[in-house]
Structure 1
Amino acid sequence: MMVDPFEVRMRFTTQLQHLSASVTSSQKAAHYALRYRDLDEDLHSCILEQLERNNMNNRANIMSFIEHFCEMATKEDHLPYVRMMQRDIIRVVDAVVPPDGTGAANVKHVRRVLSSLQSKEILSAESVTEIDAALKDREPHSAHLDFEQEEAPEGSARSKTGTPRNPKAQGMRVDKRQIEQRIEEDRERNKRLRESMWTVSGDDADEFAKLWDEVSDIGEDDFINAKEEATERERMAETVQDVRV
């Protein structure tokens, strides 16, 4: 049965608009895109469009989706999706963390996703290093926190420090619901991050190698401590034996 490309595009767009920080949400959208891989270029353009049209919370969620999407596309051996994302990754980052500072809250999240994509060999170390250098100028700083205006005639565009405000930021209001939603989604992302830190493959050899790498080399102090502990155990054993006698 023939599918309607317009309908596929609209359904995928809706999924992107309603993404949350949960893994299930990202995987559902990724499965949908892979199901209609014949429309890969069209669906990739949907991702870019939604990144540039939605609020910063949604853009952060789409960034998380991209991580899962590229991983799943690689596993299912549909590399065109991955190649298009590699090609447009700078455009993606610019949308999630715009140069004007409005996406400063997303910098940390973007860095984590980029690091993950690099570890999965989806992005090169050179690309990640280049993007990370650009992100340094977009990190949160005190200038982004000065939202109060001194008393002045209506229409004044200066802060308490007397510094002219960014005209793009002027008049920008963050909805309370968006703030609460962002807090909840950041909690979900941090929860997943903590879980991933404890994830092991299930192979005892891998777990042993990990533990072995974390243990420091044996030094002279270790032998001295071991000898002292052995002497202490012998002394305690003699004491117990004397008490029994």
Structure 2
Amino acid sequence: MDEIDPFEARLLFGNQLDNLTGAQPTIERVSGFAIKHAGMADNLLDCILEKLDKPQVPPRINLLFVIDAILLSDHRTGATTWTDLIKREAVSIIKAVIPENSGGDANVPQVRKVVSGWKRRGIFDAGIVDTVETLLANRAGGSVGASDMGMKHQEIIKRIEEDRERHKRQKEEFWIRPADETPEEELSAYWETTSDLNEADWQEIANENQEYQQERRLIDVIQRQV
């Protein structure tokens, strides 16, 4: 049972979103509030959608990371409250995070990673994932350096480190298994859920390699300038 009323919850959540950064602890704190107050998910989701209409307050990609953390929690626990609500807004959320400008282009690689995780875990229906992947396929995605050259060197390095930490956490989430699961049950689960290597997998590998090379080149440039 929620200990605060919807108005107070919305006010507190909105303040947390305004102070949201790309750091994993911040994302976990904000998503944790949303998960704890899932009974008010409709109000809290409206708050996220309102922030998505305000560019850079906070950065839209960080809002997507919060949404992703909430969906992963639902998937892990078997809850559906948040997932059912987000499902109806998933396509419009992605469109808001990758607007047709340089900022949207810079978000494309990270959005691809998030959507890949949703697809792998079967969080949404195939139709929703296909629609989102079509949106992303039509966008080449900007390099980290192309969009961030106006940022300070320290800020660029911080963003890269946050992206790597988040990606590592996402991979760790994928490998988490029930504590009482036997080795045979674990093997069976992976056998049943792991698909054959396909064109989408190769494309994801290529995207990750390209992003790594872009980050590496950017770091090299910064280090030579310091």
Q: TM-score under structure 1 normalisation? A: 0.61
Distance 1:111 1:185 in 2: 16
CA gap 1:207/1:75 in 2 versus in 1, 3 angstroms: closer
CA gap 1:87/1:7 in 2 versus in 1, 3 angstroms: same
CA gap 1:11/1:74 in 2 versus in 1, 3 angstroms: same
TM-superposed deviation, 1:8: 1.5
> What does residue 183 of structure 2 align with?
204
> What does residue 30 of structure 1 align with?
31
- Structure 2 residue ranges without an equivalent (≥5): 195-226
- Structure 1 segment 229-244 matched on structure 2, within 5 A: none
Q: TM-score under structure 2 normalisation? A: 0.65
TM-superposed deviation, 1:185: 1.4
Deviations 1:4-39 (A, max 9, x none): 433321211222233344554333223322333332
CA gap 1:75/1:204 in 2 versus in 1, 3 angstroms: closer
TM-superposed deviation, 1:206: 4.9
Distance 2:71 2:165 in 1: 21
CA gap 1:141/1:65 in 2 versus in 1, 3 angstroms: closer
> What does residue 19 of structure 1 align with?
20
> What does residue 40 of structure 1 align with?
41
- Structure 1 segment 1-245 matched on structure 2, within 5 A: 3-55=4-56, 58-74=59-75, 78-140=79-141, 145=146, 174-176=150-152, 178-193=155-170, 195=172, 203-206=182-185, 208=187
SS in 1 for 2:53: helix
TM-superposed deviation, 1:174: 4.3
Deviations 1:216-244 (A, max 9, x none): xxxxxxxxxxxxxxxxxxxxxxxxxxxxx
- Structure 1 residue ranges without an equivalent (≥5): 148-171, 215-245
Distance 1:105 1:71 in 2: 24
CA gap 1:114/1:3 in 2 versus in 1, 3 angstroms: same
> What does residue 222 of structure 1 align with?
none
Distance 2:3 2:164 in 1: 42
**CA RMSD, aligned part only?**
3.6
Distance 2:155 2:54 in 1: 15
Quick one: which amino acid aligns to residue 160 of structure 2?
I
TM-superposed deviation, 1:188: 1.5
TM-superposed deviation, 1:45: 0.7
SS in 2 for 1:102: helix
Residues matched between the structures, number: 187
User: Alignment identity in percent?
Assistant: 28
Work out whether residues 73 and 82 of structure 1, in 8 Å CA contact, stay in contact via their aligned partners in 2: yes
The structure whose Rg is larger is: 1
Distance 1:74 1:90 in 2: 19
Distance 2:26 2:72 in 1: 15
> What does residue 240 of structure 1 align with?
none
> What does residue 235 of structure 1 align with?
none
